[in-house]
Structure 1
Amino acid sequence: MMRLKQHMGLVSSPTPAIVVRLGNNTPHRRRATRSRIVSSSASDAAPFEKPRAVVKKVLAQSQPEGQGATVRRSIGRHELRNLDPFLQLDEFTVSKPAGFPDHPHRGFETVTHMFEGAITHQDFAGHKGTIRTGDVQWMTAGRGIVHSEMPAGDGVSEGLQLWINLSSKDKMIEPRYQELERKDISRAETEDGVEARVIAGEAFGVASPVYTRTPIMYVDFTMRPGSRLHQPVPEGWNAFVYVVDGEGVFGRETATAHHCLVLGSGDGVSVWNRSARPLRFVLAAGQPLGEPVVQHGPFVMNSHAEIQQAMEDYSYGKNGFERAGQWSSSA
């Protein structure tokens, strides 16, 4: 129970492929889209009929998390409790001996996107691996995962972790993983200096091989000084930008590193890097689920009764948590 309490704070050549691991760790392969240069300049794209404006700007604040680690949280703070279907966004900075030791999850997905360094993940189902600079792990916790996320090697490990809600029909599915090495992430760039690494969804006609149960777009953009971008975003989807490095103009709003920008309704967002240094940001959008969200730390369900059930299942080792009591990442 001590581990649970630590994580239960209340908050309401060939074409590359990725490996998809299901609950039984059976590998399946999905074909990725080749990297390519987009001949038409992003700055020449037609303006949107309904451009998305920035409706909220949140500076991610540093806070302790896990065991000696620090995260900058934007989504999941009181200023921005959630943005359906997104539950939480942390920019993490961690080095040994700090980390995120054994903890449970149920009812949502985590997307871990490494900027620098490496994190070793292992869980009670026997899955273990290390995600390194530029790699992405898309973990569907479903009915239950107990895992650890600890820095591998010396130095500082940095990245983003995004929590994505699952619909009520998917909350109790078997856990699964989709893991992309840096070289296998779909990539495109324009002639005037905009690079897109497509982690989910599509940009510049290049699609990610990741399967998303909740329809999601997640693109890591880097823009050279002076470049412009006009990126379509599906209407009706909630969307945000997180600035990783540099300074950019998003619609009419200027933002610098560690700011999360919530975008209003519309069919696309325009970005201009008018600074003298590169701009890097993540654009994420998702189709709202429109369902009740009840969150208690690492459990996200649709009702308080389901949260109570999740806590009971974890405590007594049942309904997906059968191996929780006998497993330790340090064993």
Structure 2
Amino acid sequence: MISRKVIKKIYADFENEGDGALVRRGITKSDQELLDPFVSLVEFSVSPPGGFKDHPHRGFESVTYMLQGGIIHQDFNGNKGTIHEGDVQWMTAGRGIIHSEMPEEQVNKGLQLWINLPSSDKMIEPKNLDMSSSEIPRADEYGVEVKVIAGESMGVKSPFYTKTPIMFLDFTLDPRSQTHQTVPESWTAFAYIIEGDEGVFSSSDSSTVQAHNVVVFGTGDEVSVWNTSSSRSLRFLLIAGEPIGEPVVERGPFVMNSQAEIDMTIRDYRNAKNGFEMAKHWRSE
């Protein structure tokens, strides 16, 4: 096995998103080429009366993973639900969707990952799926616990998947424990540290990484992680995906391949057509 080296670390600092929301941006436009097929990663905290009110999307998929509290989501196709701590919402925006994401409790925290769609799939029909914490496969041995949201780890495999193939693993390492995760050699891979300040993310690097950092890995077929703390657990997401290799143009809630497609998407939304027909009449509750 060839262990992947760390090629970049990105600290996700707090930003005020307005409407009572604070976010940490782990992936921004400057890192999209390096992290293909991933477009965005945010850790969010939102409290009432704020929230993410009715807004459109096109051209990508999202995975929302709750860490605390609950988020109530609705979309113009009639989907409505609430995801709580440990639950996941998968959303394929495809050709167009309008939805809202509003806080249920006083403190609500989670992560949202945007995954690009290839040009051939950007105009597919939208869909939505909620996955409860109890449905997520998990394994636990030798001081390592993993929740397999997508992909395979420690002999267990998730039955859920995104259109663009990815791996989405939530690891918790006890003090002084380690894990070695196989990752397809051609895939992009990174980790996001949720809790713990003494994780080492490469066999060739002894430096520890603080919480709220994105750790980008180079080539190889294995990611090795050690928790060097003698007292604190280390929790991180390991995310990997198959690169698409196409141009990415992001403008706000839209992810397309060219500025011309972005312009067309804005016109479609304003004129309520080509996937946004419900924009004229639909409002969330």
Q: Verify the 8 A CA contact 1:51 1:268 in the aligned structure 2.
A: yes
Question: Quick one: which of 50, 61, 72 aligns to 2:24?
Answer: 72
User: Match for residue 316 of structure 1?
Assistant: 271
State the Cα deviation string for residues 72-93 of structure 1 (Å, max 9, x = none): 0010154x34510000000001
Say which of 193, 209, 224 aligns to 2:174.
224
Within 1, Cα distance between the matches of 2:131 and 2:4? 30
1:162 matched residue in structure 2: 113
8 Å CA contact 1:66, 1:100 repeated in 2: no
Partner amino acid, structure 2, of 1:180 = M
Residue equivalent to 2:220? 266
Q: Is the 8 A contact 2:181 2:223 kept in 1?
A: yes
If the length of structure 2 is used for normalisation, what is the TM-score?
A: 0.95
The letter of the residue matching 1:53 is K
Residue 170 of structure 2 corresponds to residue 209 of structure 1: no
Measure, in 2, the Cα distance between the counterparts of 1:168 and 1:81: 16
Structure 2 letter corresponding to 1:91: E
SS of alignment partner, residue 137 of structure 1: strand
> 1:64 offset after TM fit, Å?
1.8
- Tell me the amino acid that sits aligned with residue 261 of structure 1: V
Compute the RMSD of aligned alpha carbons.
Answer: 1.1
Once the two structures are superposed, residues 26-61 of structure 1 have per-residue CA deviations (whole angstroms, 9 ceiling, x without a partner) of xxxxxxxxxxxxxxxxxxxxxx3x210110001001
Q: Secondary structure at the match of 1:256?
A: coil
Partner residue, 2:261: 306
SS class of match (2:263): helix
Map 1:144-159; keep pairs closer than 5 Å.
144-153=96-105, 155-159=106-110
CA contact (8 A) 2:79 2:128 kept: no
CA contact (8 A) 1:178 1:210 kept: no
- The aligned residue for residue 129 of structure 2 is 178
2:85 is matched with 133
Q: Deviations over 1:189-213 (max 9, x none)?
A: 11x1100100111111211111221
Taking the TM superposition and a 5 Å limit, the aligned residue runs for 1:63-142 are: 63-76=15-28, 78=30, 80-82=31-33, 83-142=35-94
Is the Cα contact below 8 Å between 1:66 and 1:101 reproduced in 2? no
- Whether contact under 8 Å (1:218, 1:285) holds in the other structure is yes
Other-structure match for 1:19:
none
Aligned residues: 279
Query: Structure 2 counterpart of 1:122, which letter?
Result: Q
Q: Does 1:327 align with 2:282?
A: yes
Query: TM-score of the superposition, structure 1-length normalised?
Result: 0.82
Q: Could you tell me which residue of structure 2 aligns to residue 254 of structure 1?
A: 208
8 Å Cα contact 1:123-1:146 kept in structure 2: yes
Instruction: Return the alpha-carbon distance in structure 2 between the equivalents of residues 207 and 65 of structure 1.
Output: 35
Percent of aligned positions that are identical: 59
In structure 2, C-alpha distance between the alignment counterparts of 1:175 and 1:69, rounded to whole Å: 26
Q: Unaligned stretches of 5+ in structure 2?
A: none
What does the per-residue CA deviation read over 1:202-261, in whole Å, with 9 as the maximum and x for residues that have no partner? 111211111221110000000110111111111010010000001211112411210000
